Amino acid sequence: MYTLYLAFKVFTSKVVLPGKVEASQPTDKPLTFWNGFLIQALNPKGMMVVLPITTVMFPAAHVTGTNIALVSIMIALGGAGAPGIYSFLGAALGKRITKESYFNFFNRLMGIALAVCAAFMLYDFYIHTQGL
């Protein structure tokens, strides 16, 4: 349900570029690097990944000793790499995209993609609960 909610919010959001803000519309304070850092650092999904990896996946894959550190470093690089790439692409492409219609079109595509993901999750949930 949360993913469907996000899909709806993203799909229906309207982008207004900073130079085109209407006089009656209040301007929002832009997010900074530290805002994003704190949001990611306090993200409960990251913390919830640690428990099953360390208690279930590591023992099942026979990850022990110094391999724990090596595998943990690779997981950390992957976990930080994806948001880093998204940030780089957003900064690089965001400067080149100058029309609101492009941003709004992209939001519609992302909203549809989120709705499709929600449908797949709902389907998987339904299939896996039928056998119980």
H-only helix segments in 13-65: 33-41, 44-52, 58-60
Residue 59 has pLDDT above 70, yes or no: yes
CA-to-CA distance for 100 and 105, rounded, in angstroms?
A: 9
The more confidently predicted of residues 122 and 30 is 122
Please state, rounded to an integer, the average pLDDT across all residues of the chain. Answer: 82
| pTM higher than 0.75 | no
**Contact by Cβ (8 Å): 120, 4:** no
Chain segment 15-27, per-residue pLDDT in tens: 877 765 555 555 5
pLDDT digits (tens, 9 = 90+) for 81-117: 877 888 888 888 877 787 888 888 988 999 999 999 9
Cβ(12)–Cβ(111) below 8 Å:
yes
